């Protein structure tokens, strides 16, 4: 009897699309954490992690993609959606009151910093620990309790 082992690798194009498709959802969860001091912050922090809790290997080489590849198809393709993520979060959580001193520029920097960190991290580990994401969110000021 023969046994075949199939890798979980993805073609570059499929992986690029997968990264691109999950990025806006992460931006929205980051926006919820940034805008609202009440609400389910624990859930939103977990949501940030769940969308990129692992990185798939490239099919041809069986290597993890490098940080530049991940950054290009996450932040690089979607940086222009930061304002939409803020508005989407406000519309989605219409029963909550957003903070009064919300700043587009500040939020833009937080999202950019998060995706730079995420790209570096996912280029070196296949499975991302929730504790690592929580630590990074804390360092960006998106703590669990305010």
Model's pTM, two decimal places?
Answer: 0.92
Q: Is residue 63 part of a domain?
A: yes
Check residue 6 and give its pLDDT. 44
Check residue 74 and give its pLDDT. 98
List the domain range (segments joined by +) for residue 19.
Answer: 12-139
Q: Is residue 36 part of a domain?
A: yes
Q: Is residue 144 part of a domain?
A: no
Q: Is residue 56 part of a domain?
A: yes
Cα dist from 24 to 1, 80, 125, 146, whole Å: 46, 10, 22, 25
Check residue 5 and give its pLDDT. 43
Q: Is residue 6 part of a domain?
A: no
Q: Is residue 7 part of a domain?
A: no
Check residue 50 and give its pLDDT. 97
Q: Which positions ≥6 away from 116 have C-beta within 8 Å?
A: 71, 75
Check residue 146 and give its pLDDT. 77
Check residue 2 and give its pLDDT. 52
Distance CA 75, CA 80 (A): 9
Check residue 13 and give its pLDDT. 96
Number of structural domains found in the chain: 1
Contact 116, 75 (CB under 8 A): yes
Q: Is residue 145 part of a domain?
A: no
Q: Is residue 146 part of a domain?
A: no
Check residue 8 and give its pLDDT. 61
Q: What is the mean pLDDT of each run of 10 residues along the chain (146 residues)?
A: 55 96 98 94 97 93 95 98 97 94 96 98 97 98 91
């Amino acid at each position: 009897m023969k046994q075949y082992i199939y890798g979980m690798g993805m073609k570059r194009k499929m992986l690029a699309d997968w990264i691109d498709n999950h990025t806006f959802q992460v931006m929205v969860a980051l926006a919820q954490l940034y805008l609202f001091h009440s609400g389910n912050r624990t859930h939103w922090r977990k949501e940030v992690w769940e969308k990129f809790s692992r990185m798939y290997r490239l099919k041809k080489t069986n290597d993890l993609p490098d940080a530049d590849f991940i950054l290009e198809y996450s932040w690089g393709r979607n940086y222009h959606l930061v304002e939409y993520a803020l508005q989407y979060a406000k519309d989605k959580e219409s029963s909550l009151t957003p903070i009064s001193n919300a700043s587009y520029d500040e939020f833009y920097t937080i999202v950019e910093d998060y995706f730079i960190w995420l790209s570096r991290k996912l280029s070196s580990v296949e499975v991302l620990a929730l504790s690592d994401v929580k630590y990074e969110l804390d360092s960006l000021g998106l703590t669990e309790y305010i």
